[in-house]
Structure 1
Amino acid sequence: MNALEWRAVFALGALYALRMLGMFMVLPVFALYAGHLPVPAQPWQIGLAIGIYGLTQALLQIPMGMASDRFGRKPVIVAGMLVFAAGSWVAGATDEIGWIIAGRALQGAGAVSAAVAALLADVTRDAVRTMAMAILGAGMGLAFVLALVLGPLVAGWIGVDGIFRLTAVLALMSLPVLLLGVPTPPPQPPQRGSLRAVLADRQLLRLDVGIFLLHACMTAVFTVVPLAIVQTMDMPSAAHWKLYLPVLVLSLVPVFPLIRYAEGASRLKAVFVGMVALLAGALALAALGHGVAAVLVAALLLYFIAFNFLEGALPSMISRLAPVAQKGAALGVYSSAQFLGAFAGGVLGGLGLQYGGIGGALAAAVLLPIIWLAVAAGMGPVNASRPPAARADNGIRI
């Protein structure tokens, strides 16, 4: 990648990290916090408070992505981050679960993932876009692990309501990073993103199904993996980051060489399908051997290798295949499928755990990449090496 592309990746990665760090820090401490409110929250209210963020995200990614096609990426991202900050402040300024739920819903209404991915696609060349998306995804993964470590510590200092308010501050801090740090792509004539055209494209729909299944798989897995770690490795939940962090870092070692290999000589589809197969194999290994510590760790390592590659490849492929005028709309459908998949995977993991235990839940998760293999097999070739423009920074304003 050239200097402008690196600058865009790091700036947008910082925006994602500042936004998601506060969101993730709430997860390990919210249930206990909600149970000790002046009027303690009911279990269904706790679940609704956690899940409603994903629901509003899923509902609004498409219109926000289409709006970015028409009004520009940066204005839509700024508006979304302001809404997200407002929701964070609402959730942190109350001790009533109803208002916390409303704040979480408002947080989700700041649905900027599609617009951010479209902006990154606008300012990177085809030949390096998968690498750029993978770096962005890896940064989010590291932010997740860091948040799991910091959540209980920060809650002890400023409380969970303080975490919500801190999240609002971090969201506002991300705006100068966006406006000053990310190159501005050349202006395009205002366009109405055609949702019908996006939904009629079978190639794009195969990729939307893929992100749905990938994130369904992720939430199903991590509904039960923490339990497996406790039972098999006798590791308390507060120490799980000591396993996740090195496994995640090690998983990145082969991912970037794989991306470089896949980008050459039109090998992207073959490597992509291979990573889906690796995902299925990793989950099968976990389902069969989760009671053995070494097998569980190996399965997690293989899982993260496949996940990190696919998380980077999917939005890159979407951005290549989508028409220029509908790129935001296409990434909006993609992002909605992603959040709906996370919701569906949580349901699948919970039901699998209830009726089949840890092994049953992991076995149910194996079905998802197997279905994905059938879908991906019919995918057409993805041009991984289209001739670049004369200069990658042509027309991009600093």
Structure 2
Amino acid sequence: MFKKVFPLSAILSLRFLGLFLVLPVISVYALELEGSTPLLVGVVVGGYALTQAIFQVPFGTMSDKIGRKPTLLVGLVIFLIGSLICAYSTDIYTLMFGRFLQGAGAIGSVITAMISDLVEEEIRGKAMAIMGASIAMSFAIAMGLGPVIGAGYGISTLFFITAGLSIVAMVILFTKVPTPPRIKHIYHGVVKTSDILKDSNLLNMIIINAMQKGLMTAAFVLIPIILTSDAFAWEKSDLYMAYLPAMLLGLIAMGPAAVFGEKHNKPREIFLISIVLFIASFLLMGLTTSSTIFIVAVSMFFIAFNMMEPLVQSMITKFAKVHQKGAALGISNSVAYFATFVGGTFTGLMLDISDRGVIGISVAITATLWLLWTLKLQNPTKHSHLYIPHAEIDEDKLNLLENEHIAEWYINETEKLVVVKYVASAISEDELKSKIIK
């Protein structure tokens, strides 16, 4: 499993490392550019997410049709061009355009779908945890290096590093990433994309993913501006002292959360705990006058974010049928990236017209409503998988296979296997075999 997942996780983490390197400092640096306002700074911070929102579904759907690898290459090239435009920008509008172009290379859902193609569902939770851990590690590295490099060499250097990382990701794509199996899905026929939104479990996960990402950009607009303002008067080069310990605590919290959520099948409980931490963190960031308490609030935020991160994508792939994965992840990430843009833009606007106290209280109220909504979430049903050589299957019986305890079935054409996803506690393996074997 590790050999299949690590190259893809490396590509995603390199791309996120490039994005995250600038996040801790971009708001304070963007304020110094020609034509800058707090609102435009908020758009810059979340700008990449708007085009991510627009292109996630097309990229996810395209990957289902033409293949994952070609789609990944297109996304990485677009990201590279956007990073170079950001590096050479001298005014707020050019920087904004570069950020929009960075986001247009929307490959996140494609990578997640490719991992789900390569890894059996029984161990997919571990695969998603590896991916989540790699992203969180990118967070940790970026929080430490971003403020230091930005203060010493300028933010343009961070964007040049981002461009270089995208080239490294392309090399990994063509030298280390395996080709996923061809999957032929017939069970229940063709399902429309609209069916994804009608599935209550998938809809709940889409909302959770969106809120988590929206709060992320809100935090990254607030944290550096507040710490370098008259309230605390930190230097830009000192910002790592708030980010680094927060990310280390987040990494520590992520492991137990992933185990409890995946192994013990309790993701709902992890999500609820995380939301409570989000509420507390924004209230403290908005209202405290103590730098120590502010750092504690930042740590609470990153603990909550990292507890959620490895579970969100995994739960979406568990609730979606095999032929829906690319589209389901595309829709989820599209909505999440739109929320990312709204989070940054809203926070920038609020800084223009109010203060951090109002922002903290407003976010806390919104997150409380989110908490109440999430109480309706159900933990996923635990399924087993039956793998039978395709040559042993009666095609006519297979096409007529219907049972309330069978979630779906599909054919792995590359490995010549028929895979049936079912509830083992309700129907036996022998009973299943009797229904479809010649």
Q: Give the TM-score category using the shorter length.
A: 0.7 to 0.9
Distance 1:179 1:77 in 2: 10
- Tell me, in whole angstroms, the C-alpha distance in 1 between the residues paired with 2:356 and 2:322: 44
Q: Alignment length, in residue pairs?
A: 382
The reply to whether residue 170 of structure 1 matches residue 165 of structure 2 is: yes
Alignment partner, residue 384 of structure 2: 387
Match of 1:279 in 2: 278
1:339 aligns with 2:337: yes
Q: Which has the higher contact order (CA 8 A, sep 6+)?
A: 1
Amino acid at match of 2:384: P
Task: Please state how far the C-alpha of 1:139 moved relative to its aligned partner.
Answer: 2.5
More strand by share: 2
AA in 1 matched with 2:328: A
Match of 2:56 in 1: 61
**TM-score, length-normalised on structure 2?**
0.75
- Which residue does 1:247 correspond to in 2? 246
Separation of aligned partners in 2, 1:294 and 1:99: 37
Deviations, residues 252-277 of structure 1 (Å, cap 9, x unaligned): 22321222123234322223223222
TM-fit CA distance, 1:79:
1.7
Deviation, structure 1 residue 291 = 1.4
Match of 1:10 among 2, 6, 9: 6
Superposed displacement of residue 76, structure 1? 1.1
Structure 1 residue runs without a partner (length 5+):
none
Compared CA separation, residues 149 and 35, structure 1 to 2 (3 A): closer
The code of the aligned residue for 2:65 comes to R
Q: Kindly provide the CA deviation profile for residues 139-191 of structure 1, in whole angstroms up to 9, marking residues without a partner as x.
A: 331243145235426745xx82x654553332122122123333433222499
Paired with 1:147 and 1:371, the residues of 2 have a C-alpha distance of: 35
Give 3-state SS (helix, strand or coil) of 1:235's partner: coil
Please give the TM-score of this superposition, normalised by the length of structure 1: 0.82
1:214 lines up with 2:212 in the alignment: yes
Secondary structure of residue in 1 paired with 2:146:
helix
Sort the Cα spacing of 1:103 and 1:304 in 2 relative to 1 into closer, same or farther, 3 A.
closer
Q: Secondary structure at the match of 2:234?
A: coil
CA RMSD of aligned residues (A): 3.4
Q: CA deviation at 1:320?
A: 0.7
| Range that drifts further, 103-112 or 313-322 | 103-112
Shift of 1:86: 3.2
Instruction: Give the match's secondary structure for 1:382.
Output: coil
Partner of 2:269: 270
Would you tell me which structure has more helix in proportion to its own residues?
A: 1
Going from structure 1 to structure 2, the CA distance change for 1:96 and 1:120 (only over 3 Å counts) comes to: same
Looking at structure 2, the residues matched to 350 and 93 of structure 1 have their Cα atoms a distance apart, in angstroms, of 24
Q: Whole-Å Cα distance in 2 between the matches of residues 267 and 323 of structure 1?
A: 21
- By how many angstroms is 1:330 displaced? 0.7
Q: Distance in 2 between matches of 1:219 and 1:362?
A: 14
Q: Distance in 2 between matches of 1:357 and 1:33?
A: 19
- The code of the aligned residue for 1:387 comes to S
Residues 371 and 45 of structure 1, relative CA distance in 2, 3 Å threshold: closer
Pairing 1:65-84 to 2, within 5 Å after superposition: 65-84=60-79
The residue that corresponds to 2:117 in the other structure is: 122
Q: Matched residue of 1:111: which SS?
A: coil
Q: Deviations over 1:101-158 (max 9, x none)?
A: 55443332211111112223333423424523431331331243145235426745xx
Q: Which runs of 5+ in 2 are unaligned?
A: 388-411, 416-438
Q: Given the alignment of the two structures, is residue 186 of structure 1 paired with residue 181 of structure 2, yes or no?
A: yes
In 2, are the aligned partners of 1:194 and 1:329 still within 8 Å (CA)?
no
